[in-house]
Amino acid sequence: MKFGGTSVADIDRIRNVARHVKREVDAGHQVAVVTSAMAGTTNRLVEWCREAAVLHDAREYDAVVASGEQITAGLLAMTLEAMGITARSWQGWQLPIYTSEAHATARILDINGAELIARFKERNEVAVITGFQGVHRETGRITTLGRGGSDTSAVAIAAAIAAERCDIYTDVDGVYTTDPRVVPRAQRLDKIAFEEMLELASQGAKVLQVRSVELGMVHNVRIFVRSSFDKPEDIDPHATPPGTLICDEGEIMEQQVVTGIAFSKDEAQISVRRIEDKPGVAAAIFVPLAEANINVDMIVQNVSADGATTDLTFTVPAADFDRAKDTLNKAKSTIGYERVDGATDVTKVSVIGIGMRSHAGVAARAFQALAERRINIRAITTSEIKFSLLIDSAFTELAVRTLHSLYGLDKA
C-alpha cells in the first residue's frame, strides 16, 4: 500500500491512512506500506537547500530531502501502534534499498525483502517504509530517486517481497481515458495494460511515475490505482473497490482500439534550418544535447528538393529550451546550419492503445478530424501502440476533446 503526499498531509489524514491499513490487516493480509512526505514538505526542504547554498552538494541535498518521508513513516507507525496494530517504520537504508550513486536521481539496483518477510511471519508486523529513498552500497550515503520516487519504491518493494498487488492510493480514484478537467466525460478505466500505462505516463499523464510502471512491467507486479479519500470503513477488503488495475495484457479480455489520450504542455519545438545533408549531421546535433542532459523527443527531418540541405525539427522539455538553443549555438561551426527557430507555445497530444497493432487507419482518422477543426499539426511520431502530434497550445483542449469523442472514449 503506497500513500502520496496529499493522503498524509496532516495527522487527521495519517489517521485515515492507518484505518485503510487496519482494514487490510483485519482481513488477514500481510501489509507493507510506503509513505511519501506530507504534501508541501519536500518543496520546503528543497527551498531550504537552495537558500543554504545555490550550488549545494547533491549528497547533502539527499540527506535533507529524505527526511520528509522519515517523519511520515514514523508518525504512521505510531498511529498504527495506538490502534493496536504491530508496526515498525523502516528507512530506505535499513531494509536496505540499494541504489546507484546518482544523487537526487538514483535508480534502484536491489532490495533485500527477507527481513520484512520474516517479520510478517513471526510478528505479523506491518512494515511502514519511507518512499523516495535508498542507500548507495559502497559509500553508505542516503540517495533519493527523484520526484515521484515513492511510486517506484512501492513497486520495487512489492516485487522484492512477491506481493499479490501494489495498491497506489492517491487523490484520484483511478486512471482515466484523459484528464477529466479537460474532458468532463472522461471515463475511469477498470484495467489497463502495462505498455499502455507506460505510454500514458511518459506522454503527460500525472497519475503514476514512469519508472514505477516500468518496474511493474519487468517484474509483473500488478498495480492498483485507487483513492485514499474513500471511507476506509465503507470498503470491503475482499471485493474489488473503485480504481484501475494496471496488469499484463493477457488479463484484459477485450481491448479497445484506443485506451487513452495524454497531452503535455511542457514542450518546446526547435527547428535547425538548412543543414548540409551529409552523414554525421544528426550526431553533430544530438550528441551535444545528450552531453548536456537534454532529453529529445519527437524528431522530424525534411530534405530539400535539391537534396543538398535538410531541416531537422525536434522537441525538448520547455524547461530546457534556452539551454538547448545555447548548446546548438556553441556547436554551430561543427553542425553548419543557417539558423535555429524555436517555439514554446506547443503541446504534444498522444493517442495510445494496444488495439492499434491490429487496426489500420487509426491515425488517419485523427488527422482528418483535426483538419476539420482547422488544427494544424506541426510534427508527427508513431510507434506500435501510440502516435503523437505536436500542435499549437491554443488548440489543446479542442484537440483532446475531438480525439476523445472520435475514438468513442466518452462512452462508459
Q: Let me know if the fold of 2-250 is the same as that of 261-406.
A: no
3-state helix, strand, coil in the chain (%, to 5): 40, 25, 35
Distance CA(273)–CA(281), nearest Å, equals 12
CA distance 128 to 122: 17
pLDDT recorded at residue 330: 93
Q: Tally Cβ neighbours within 10 Å of residue 193.
A: 21
Q: What Cα–Cα distance (Å) separates residue 338 from each residue in 271, 287, 310, 335?
A: 11, 19, 11, 10
Q: How confident is the model at residue 358 (pLDDT cuts 50, 70, 90)?
A: confident
Task: Please name the residues in contact with 282: beta carbons below 8 A apart, sequence gap of 6 or more.
Answer: 301, 312
Domain ranges of the chain: 2-250, 261-406
Residue 46 — very low, low, confident or very high, per pLDDT cuts 50/70/90?
very high
Fold of domain 261-406:
VC0802-like (3.30.2130)
End-to-end CA, the chain: 28
Would the CA dihedral through 370, 371, 376, 380 be positive or negative?
Answer: positive
The pLDDT of residue 192: 95
Give residue 203's pLDDT: 83
How far apart CA 19 and CA 249 sit, in angstroms, is 33
Q: What is the mean pLDDT of residues 373-377?
A: 96
Is 327 in a helix, a strand, or coil?
Answer: helix
pLDDT in tens, 113-143: 998 999 999 999 999 999 999 999 999 999 9
Radius of gyration of the chain measured on its C-alpha atoms: 23
Question: What average pLDDT score do residues 79-97 get?
Answer: 96
Number of continuous H segments (helices) and E segments (strands) in the chain: 13, 18
Instruction: Kindly report the CATH number that applies to the domain delimited by 2-250.
Output: 3.40.1160.10
Whether the Cβ atoms of residue 179 and residue 263 lie closer than 8 Å to each other: yes
Q: What is the pLDDT of residues 202-242, one digit of tens each?
A: 887 778 888 999 999 999 999 999 999 888 988 988 888 88
Distance between CA 400 and CA 6 in Å, rounded?
28
